[in-house]
Amino acid sequence: MNRLAASTSPYLLQHAHNPVDWYPWGEEALARARAEDKPIFLSIGYAACHWCHVMAHESFEDESTAALMNEFFVNIKVDREERPDLDGIYMQAVTALTGSGGWPMSVFLTPDLRPFYGGAYFPPVRRHNLPVFRDVLTSIANAWKNQRDEIDRVGAQLVQHIQAQSTSNTGAGFTSEHLRLAEQNLLDSYDWGYGGWGAAPKFPQPMTIEFLLARSTFLPQEKRGLKASIHALKAMARGGMYDVVGGGFSRYSTDNFWRVPHFEKMLYDNAQLVRAYLHAWQVTGEASFRQIVEETLEFVSRELTHPEGGFFSSLDADSEGVEGKFYVWKKEEIREQLFESSVFFEVAYGITERGNWEGRTVLQRALDDASLASRFNLTEEAVAAKLTDCHRRLLAARAQRVRPATDDKILTAWNGLMLAAFAEASRVFGSANLSPFGLGQKSADLRPHSFYNMATHNANFLLTHLRRDGKLCRSWRDGTTTNAVFLEDYASLILGLLELYQTDFDNKWFTSALELTEEMVQRFRDPAGGFFDTPTDGETLPIHPKDLQDNATPSGSALATEALLKLSALTGRGDFRDLAEAALRQVAELTVRYPTAFGRWLSAAEFVQAQVKQVAIVVSEDGQDDAQGLLNAIRAEYRPNVVVAAARPPIQKDAPSLLHERPLVDGKTAAYVCEGFVCLRPVTNKEELQKLLLSNNGG
């Protein structure tokens, strides 16, 4: 057993019994490299990564390979999900060296942490046109002994390159023309045949879809953006990447048709996709979008939730050493479970004896509900009910299989994303069934109520377990937290808390969000504009990382910008707005050239350009039903540029300033709407409020 045995990360624990003398990242390993003048072999991956498992089995479990590593290198293992800063810095180096990146990441460093050689997966024998890992180790060891000048030159050059990438370019700022051009570029590059952007492997791009959905609400005359976003969501929902049996989305599609996924399920993907489908349901009213939201949140509740309320990071792609085995089916297995419904199900999903992937079937819809109804002489409602019953039976059968491993560490940033999803879904679906200020249940539909309970349980978990003694942490597992924390942790949690506040108007969520925002600005602000990814009082690294690009998860800077904009709208804090606009100026030109890499930024810029509407609702003593009616008017449609605060008088001093000095109107519950530094006359009924919300709605 090596030094990883004491780690909190499931990924590091997977390597605790390797013969490699692994260290976790820390001063002990770095001091040894300096003292012995040895190069560092840095291996970065994550628990659900299929090729990480392959390289571990082929090389890190091999005694002779481990002996070579131990003799010539100080070997360090890093979980990229616990240390996104290290992952970001050294991924830039690997990309500069090889033209591409990925995991497992294998990078060699000098003792002062400068990268000089790297790649991703290296096989144990010559294959895939990749160098053999043992040959790489031998060559690096020889170069370290005989070509130090060249290593130093390459290392210095790479650090200079990464520093240049991290330097802010502050432009004039966003205009409506930037947004128009970004949208045009997205639509010009859209795959109208199969849906989405780019070629295989095809990623879901929820941030891009969200930007187009939001833009369609501001500019309803522009139909192509809405058409593309709905087309993409439907393409992914047919199955393959979407788990039609158990809910939830896999990481990406290995083909252009969204048929065969890479089967790992990540919390962050599902959090972002839930909100995209939720907003699509609000815009279109299509029942299938709501069904996907509910099934995905139920999947998270069932399979990715700690009993105390935190959300786990991921499910592995593999089970019993085989990728996708847990999720795929043989025709006879389906017949054994569905009996009389089997023929119907086989037609719905185009199931054959041969299967559609390695002799088995990845479930993907072949016929829609209308076609099935015609084929089997059923109503579309009966088709939907029959499919639901089939899925239920297959889910019960699948539960008997050997499950993929769960990465059960709880990350603040990813939890913040999912907190926002649960909170918003609970208020959108429950707007007619759940009352504000305590959400008293009013109907037999328990789903919105349970989603709300999941949100509050999670928020309390994060504010207690991951913010101990007033200090926010990145990761928690089995009662132990890591010391690191990043910009995205602060910003995601702030945004999640603001969504929860706008669901139940419990002031503690708002005050926590505001306090975290003050800390975030103090610890991460770059005086030149924008924010660093790591705190200014944190560990010293070769680069102070500042990754502006949205990747699988939103950029920490984009999230921070969005949080500042929303808090400025709730509090009137001009300094928050100034910081957000300075951050936006860094990326205005980049969003036009690379819009799929800046989707969350585009949504933040759209929020600015479309003019936020601020709604304050003051509730009379007996006016809860009136308040519910006003809230229903707001929540009945997708309104991405609206922020809402509500309370009963007397208004607490630490409540959003949007509520201050707002009296009742003739003793009645009232709604105040402000936009663009102008406040309109208060209204007391939902019809008048709807008119105010629709007015001047330009983008």
User: What is the per-residue pLDDT for 8?
Assistant: 87
User: What is the per-residue pLDDT for 415?
Assistant: 98
Which stretches of the chain score pLDDT less than 70? 165-171, 431-449, 696-699
Residue matched to tokens 């509730």? 619
User: 634, exposed or middle or buried, with CB in 10 Å at 0-12, 13-18, 19+?
Assistant: buried
User: What is the per-residue pLDDT for 432?
Assistant: 42
Per-residue DSSP letter, 650: S
Residue 605 token pair: 């810029």
What number of other Cβ atoms are within 10 A of residue 11's Cβ?
A: 26
Of the candidates 360, 503, 371, 337, the one whose C-alpha atom is nearest the C-alpha of residue 427 is 503
Distance from C-alpha of 363 to C-alpha of 453, rounded to nearest angstrom: 32
Distance from C-alpha of 436 to C-alpha of 434, rounded to nearest angstrom: 7
User: What is the per-residue pLDDT for 166?
Assistant: 65
Residue 591 token pair: 């969003």
Distance from C-alpha of 372 to C-alpha of 205, rounded to nearest angstrom: 30
Q: How far are the Cα atoms of 286, 335, 485, 573, 638 from residue 568, in angstroms, in the given order?
A: 34, 58, 24, 5, 21
**Phi then psi dihedrals of residue 596, to 5 deg:** -70, -15
Q: What is the pTM of this model?
A: 0.93
Distance from C-alpha of 109 to C-alpha of 541, rounded to nearest angstrom: 12
Residues of the chain with CATH 3.40.30.10: 3-166
Distance from C-alpha of 664 to C-alpha of 656, rounded to nearest angstrom: 17
Q: Does domain 613-694 have CATH number 3.40.30?
A: yes
| DSSP calls for 320-376 | TTEETTTT-B-HHHHHHHHGGGHHHHHHHHT--SS-SBTTBB--B-SS-HHHHHHHH
Sign for the CA dihedral angle at 171, 173, 174, 177 comes to negative
Residue 355 token pair: 């299967």
For domain 3-166, the CATH superfamily is Glutaredoxin (3.40.30.10)
What number of other Cβ atoms are within 10 A of residue 252's Cβ?
A: 20
Partner residues linked to 665 by β-bridges: 668
Residue 108 token pair: 């060699």
**Dmax (CA) of the chain:** 87
User: What is the per-residue pLDDT for 220?
Assistant: 78
What number of other Cβ atoms are within 10 A of residue 85's Cβ?
A: 25
**Phi then psi dihedrals of residue 265, to 5 deg:** -115, 120
User: What is the per-residue pLDDT for 538?
Assistant: 84
What number of other Cβ atoms are within 10 A of residue 129's Cβ?
A: 5
Distance from C-alpha of 384 to C-alpha of 94, rounded to nearest angstrom: 48
Please report, as a single letter, which amino acid is at residue 442.
K
Distance from C-alpha of 438 to C-alpha of 428, rounded to nearest angstrom: 16
Partner residues linked to 683 by β-bridges: 671
